[in-house]
Amino acid sequence: MIDLEFVINTLSLGSLYALLALGLVLVYGILRLVNFAYGEYVMIAGYAIFLSATYLNAPWYLTLVLGVFAAIVVSYLTEIIAFRPVRTKSVDALIVTSFAVSIFLQNVVLIAVSPRAKPVPLPSFFSETVEVAGGTVPVRNLLVIVVTAVLLIALSLLMKKTVVGMAMRAAADKFTTTRLMGVPANVVISTAFVLSGLLAGVAAIFWVSRSASVDPLTGTGPLLIAFICVVMGGMHSTIGAVVGGYVYGLVFNVLSLTLPASMVSYRDAFMFGLVVLFLLFRPAGIIKGGYTEERVG
Amino acid sequence: MAMLTVENLEASYGAVRALNGISLDVAEGELVALLGINGVGKSTTLKSIMGVLRPTKGTITFQDKDITGRRPESIVKRGISLVPEGRDIFGTLTVEENLRLGAYVGYKRDRYRADLEEMFTLFPILKERLHQAGGLLSGGEQQMLAIARALMGHPRLLMLDEPSLGLSPTMTDQIFELIVGLKERGSTILLVEQNAERALDIVDRAYLLANGEIEHAGTPDEIKRQVNVASVYFGDETDGDSCEVEQ
C-alpha cells in the first residue's frame, strides 16, 4: 500500500507544512516570539495574487512574485511598526501585539476588499496531473516538493556560508553576546522577519491553490498547522520545524488512508490529540535544541 | 590622558540599585583591574560601559566621545570589546564561525586571514579545533576562544570579565600570562577579577569595589597598604567559586 503516489503526496504535504513551520520558528528562534500574525502573511500573499491578477491583469508569474513580495513587505513592516517598539518589554507584550497585528490585518482586508472569499487565479498547469509510476499526481504536488527543496538548500547555505546567517544562528543562541560582536540587533531581527515573510509567501502560493480562493480568515489554518508542526518537531531549531512539517504530512496522510470513511473528517482531531501527547510526554519536540532561553533586551 | 572615563555611574536592575556612583578611568596602554567579591557591581560596571545595561545616571566617555547609553553594537564599533563573564561562546557555531563574528566590525578579508594566523600563534589549540562546535570545547579553551574572538575585532580597549572563573589553576596561570602578554603588545585592558591577589601582581592600577561603590583605588602597592587583600578580597573562606575547578 506504500506506493509512489502516497510518497509523493506525503512529501508534498510535508513540504508545504515544513515551509510554514520554518517561517514561524525563524522568528521564534531570535525573538522568542510565537508570532500569531504569521498566518496573515499567507493571507496577504493570497490577496496580493488576487488583486494583481484582477486589477493589474498581471501574468501569472508576476502575480506569484507580487504575492511573495507582499508577504515579505508586510512581515518586515509588522516588525518595524508593531514589534520593535515593544521588543524590550515582556514576552507577553510581544504576544499580545502579535494578536493585535493579526486582527488588524484581517480587518484591513475585510474592509478594504471584502468579507467574502475572492478567487485566486493560478496557472492552469497547477491543477493538471501527470502519470507517475501508474498513479496520477497533480503537478502542484511535484512543484511544492521541488520548490521546498530549493528553498531549504538556499536557506541552509545562507545560514552556514554568510555572515548574516552566522549572526542569525549566533543570535538564536545568545542574543546579547551577538550584539557584543558589533552585529546590530535590528539587522538580525529584520532579516528573520523578511525570511519568515518569504517562506509564508511561497507557502501561500500552494496553500491558496488548494481552494483557489482567499478570504480574511485564510491565515488561521496555516498558523495552526505551523504551530502544531513546531510543537511536534521542536521549537528550538530550524531542523525541528522542518522535521515537524514532514511528520505532520506523514501522519495526516496515513490517517487519511487508514481511518474508516466515517472518521476521515476527524483527522484534525487526531492531529490535535497527537499534539497533546507531545506536550505531555515530549514537550521539547522531536529535535531537542540546545538554545538558551535568553530574552532579547 | 584617559582613554575611558566613567563618572558617577549609577545603574539598577529594576528596583535594585547595583551601582552607586562609580568613577574610574583607564589610560591608553594601561592594564587596570576592577576588584571585589561577588555581587558588588563589577560586571554591572562593564555591562553599563558596553551599553548592555542603560545607566540611570552618570557619564561614560571613550576617546573624548560621550558613549553613555549607546547601543552595544555602536560601542563595539567605537573600539571597546567585552569578553563576557562565563565566556558566552556561541556553542552551536564552529570555532571558526565564532572568530568570524568577532571580526564582524570593519571586516577585511586579507586582514581577517592574517588575524586568524596570529590567533593560531597565540592559541595553537584553536587551530586544531577550528571546525568543531564551540560548545564542545573545554572551559579553558572556551575562554581562549572568547578572548581570541574579542581580539579579532581589533579593540582599542579590551574588557575581560572574570577570565579565570571556573578554570583549573594551570589554565588560570595561562590566562594571566596571556593578559600580561597582551599588555606588552600594547593593548589597553580593563580586567574584572575576584582573584584580587593574582590580579594585583600584574596590573598597573586597580579599583576595589564594595556595594556598588569604589572603596579604594591606586597602584597595587597602594592598595595592598590600604587593605589586607588576602583576607578581605581574596575571600578564601567565603569565595565558593574558587573551588570550582574545570579542566
Query: Distance from A283 to chain B by nearest Cα, in Å?
Result: 21
* H/E stretch holding A153: helix A139-161
Residue ranges of the alpha helices (H) in B25-134? 42-50, 72-78, 95-102, 109-122, 124-128
Phi-psi region of B79 (alpha: psi -120 to 50; beta: other; left: phi over 0): left
Q: How buried is B217 (Cβ within 10 angstroms: 0-12 exposed, 13-18 middle, 19+ buried)?
A: middle
Residue A206: closest CA among A16, A1, A4, A7: A16
Sequence-distant (6+) residues with CB within 8 A of B15 are none
Of A172, A174, A181, the CB nearest to B102: A181
Q: CA dist A32 to A193, A297, B18, B242, Å?
A: 13, 11, 27, 35
Q: What is the pLDDT of residue B230?
A: 66
Sequence-distant (6+) residues with CB within 8 A of B44 are B11, B13, B18, B19, B53, B212
Q: Which amino acid, residue B189?
A: I
Residue A14: closest CA among A226, A275, A238: A226
CB contact under 8 A, B104 and A173: no
Interhelix angle A38-55/A185-211, nearest 10 degrees: 60
Query: Distance from B72 to chain A by nearest Cα, in Å?
Result: 6
CB contact under 8 A, B90 and A184: no
What residues of B are in contact with residue A169 (Cβ under 8 Å)?
90, 92-93, 97
Of B82, B92, B93, the CB nearest to A180: B82
Q: What is the pLDDT of residue B232?
A: 53
Task: Please say whether the beta carbons of A20 and A226 come within 8 A.
Answer: yes
CB contact under 8 A, B101 and A179: no
Q: What is the pLDDT of residue B243?
A: 39
Of A163, A173, A182, the CB nearest to B73: A182
Residues in chain A with pLDDT values less than 50: 292-293, 297
Q: What is the pLDDT of residue A262?
A: 87
Q: What is the pLDDT of residues A107-142, one digit of tens each?
A: 999 999 999 999 998 888 888 888 877 778 888 999
Q: What is the pLDDT of residue A296?
A: 53
Q: Mutation test of the interface with chain A: which of B78, B101, B154, choosing the one with the most A Cβ atoms within 10 A? A: B101
Sequence-distant (6+) residues with CB within 8 A of A215 are A115, A116, A117, A118
Angle A291-A293-A295 from CA coordinates, rounded to 5° = 125
Q: Which DSSP letter does residue B94 get?
A: B
Query: Distance from B237 to chain A by nearest Cα, in Å?
Result: 32
Sequence-distant (6+) residues with CB within 8 A of B31 are B179, B180, B183, B188, B189, B191, B202, B203, B204
Q: CA dist B157 to A30, A35, B9, B142, Å?
A: 29, 39, 19, 21
Task: Please say whether the beta carbons of B99 and A170 come within 8 A.
Answer: no
Q: What is the pLDDT of residue B238?
A: 41
Q: B179 is written with which cell numbers?
A: 593578559
A-B C-beta contacts closer than 8 Å: 70
Four-CA torsion B152, B156, B162, B168, nearest 10 degrees: 50
Q: How buried is A140 (Cβ within 10 angstroms: 0-12 exposed, 13-18 middle, 19+ buried)?
A: buried
State how far the Cα of B122 lies from the Cα of B96, in Å rounded to an integer: 15
Residues in chain B with pLDDT values less than 70: 230-247
Q: What is the pLDDT of residue B240?
A: 40
ipTM, interface predicted TM-score of the complex? 0.89
Sequence-distant (6+) residues with CB within 8 A of B2 are B25, B26, B27, B61
Of A176, A181, A185, the CB nearest to B104: A181
